Amino acid sequence: MDEELRPLKKIECTNINERGLSMLCDIVLIFKQIKDILKVEIIKKWNVNKLIKYNIVMPIIQYTDKNNKTGSLNVSEFPDECPMCHKGIKPILFGKAFWSSINAKMQAIFICPREECYRVFIGFYAEAMGQYFLSHLRPINIVEKDFPDTIKSISSNFPKIYNQSHGAEQLKLDEVCGSGYRKALEFLIKDYLLDQTKDEEEKKKIKKEFLGQCIKTRIDNPKLQLVAERATWLGNDETHYERRWKDKDIEDLKNLIQLTVNWIDTEQLTKEILKDMPKGKIKSESNQSLEEKKKNQELENK
């Protein structure tokens, strides 16, 4: 029989030595760890009831209340990002947390373990169905988003309004940050259009027109027009009583604003390059062949 077609010899394990047993234990342990990792990933998507049902182990926080009564509570998690330096961390829990029986809220003091930061912050935990969940962290060092120079030179208001909304979002003011992003978008589009014309009458019209109308009739770049139009749809949802795009949220709006920024930036950079390099360089006349001279003459006449 062909060597390759011969069936594999059945391995019979009748005797396992100490080394083999140790290897087998290692393999079992690895499988257990993989199973545990997968379980942790899965529980992130589960609801509170399932968490309780499957009795997943949670961190414990020791607390004291206003009457100096002490106790301990399981909490959903410790913060995994420092609100001051915004780096991923395993925070140091400082002393006992404070628990209030009136609103069933707990405040735990944490310290960022990073040497460069080492700042204190408070984790606020709220009770839901008998469990304590991390609701927010304070104080927060608000992170500002930076925009390309092309955008800043077209609109000084856009980065300012955008970052005020971004700050509101980080402070969990989620009912107002969306309308701020919508305002930022309007300033970006209108300032971009104002930058395209020198006609004062046109400028007055642009300032007065609805944003949707400006996008539809005044933007020539079709890709920019498409993304700006969609950003406006989602932006309007943030200011209207009834939401039309129920499956979209603030992240989708921010992505569309970012795409609008990218298209304007690309267009501006292209304009600058073409202004700087309007046509190809011509070889000095003495080095040109007769045919090259003829070609260059033709190019110049075009």
Which residues contact Zn ion by CB under 5 A?
Answer: 82, 84-85, 112, 114, 117
Tell me the two tokens of residue 243: 């939401």
Provide the minimum distance between the beta carbon of 86 and Zn ion in the complex, in angstroms, as a whole number.
7
Complex with Zn ion: residue 91 or 159, whichever CB lies closer: 91
Provide the minimum distance between the beta carbon of 102 and Zn ion in the complex, in angstroms, as a whole number.
31
In three-state secondary structure terms, 57 is coil
Complex with Zn ion: residue 51 or 140, whichever CB lies closer: 140
| Amino acid code (one letter) for 299 | L
Complex with Zn ion: residue 84 or 226, whichever CB lies closer: 84
Tell me which DSSP letter residue 101 carries: T
Determine how many CB atoms are found less than 10 A away from the CB of residue 97.
23
Provide the minimum distance between the beta carbon of 210 and Zn ion in the complex, in angstroms, as a whole number.
45
In three-state secondary structure terms, 4 is helix
Rounded distance, CA 13 to CA 63, Å?
55
Provide the minimum distance between the beta carbon of 140 and Zn ion in the complex, in angstroms, as a whole number.
11
**In Å, what is the CA distance from 280 to each residue of 70, 290, 297, 300?**
80, 19, 13, 10
Complex with Zn ion: residue 82 or 253, whichever CB lies closer: 82
Complex with Zn ion: residue 40 or 92, whichever CB lies closer: 92
Provide the minimum distance between the beta carbon of 201 and Zn ion in the complex, in angstroms, as a whole number.
54
Strand arrangement of the beta sheet that strand 92-100 belongs to: 70-74, 60-64, 92-100, 105-111, 120-128, 131-138
